[in-house]
Homo-oligomer: A and B are copies of this chain.
Amino acid sequence: MRIGELARKAGTTTRTLRYYEARGLLPARRGENGYRRYDEEDLRLLHQIRLLQDFGFELEETRPFVDCLRAGHPSGDSCPASLDVYRRKLDELDAVIERLRQVREQMGAQLARAELEASAQQPPAPRCELTQAPSGRREQERGPDDDAVE
């Protein structure tokens, strides 16, 4: 099949397929007229790539899976190289999720506090002193030109 058909079957664009080819990820054979030719295996490889992309893999990280499939192995993750990528991505993912979870927690607390202060006219609870308006000047050392404010 040609590039447009493959793109349609895989739910992507021709530009994307040319991009993958330029990156050496999904090279295409050529017909007499110079048109790219693909077969069903390419569709399979492409499908693997898109799946991992949807998982948040970078393009380069899909390469072991594609190579594995191209080697004729039963599935893209049959090779240790693919499993290594899995494990690395899982660690990354855990780290990111944990980080976001903590951020979410902090932000939720900030919002709750701010809403409370907004409803009642209470004085702001103590937080990082630098994100508040100045009340009593008790800042760190200052440069020699700080009082030269226009």
Contact = CB atoms under 8 A, between A and B. Distances in A.
A59 interface: no
Nearest to A71: B133
Interface residues of A, number: 67
A133 B101 CA distance: 38
A56 to B, nearest CB: 6
Contacts of A114: 75, 77-78, 82-83, 86
Nearest to A149: B39
Q: Interface centre among A74, A110, A142, by most B CB within 10 Å?
A: A110
Contacts of A145: 1-2, 37
Interface in A94-150: 94, 96-97, 100-101, 103-104, 106-108, 110-111, 114-115, 117-118, 123-124, 127-128, 130-134, 139-140, 142-143, 145-146, 148-150
B128 A47 contact: yes
Contacts of A104: 90, 93-94, 97
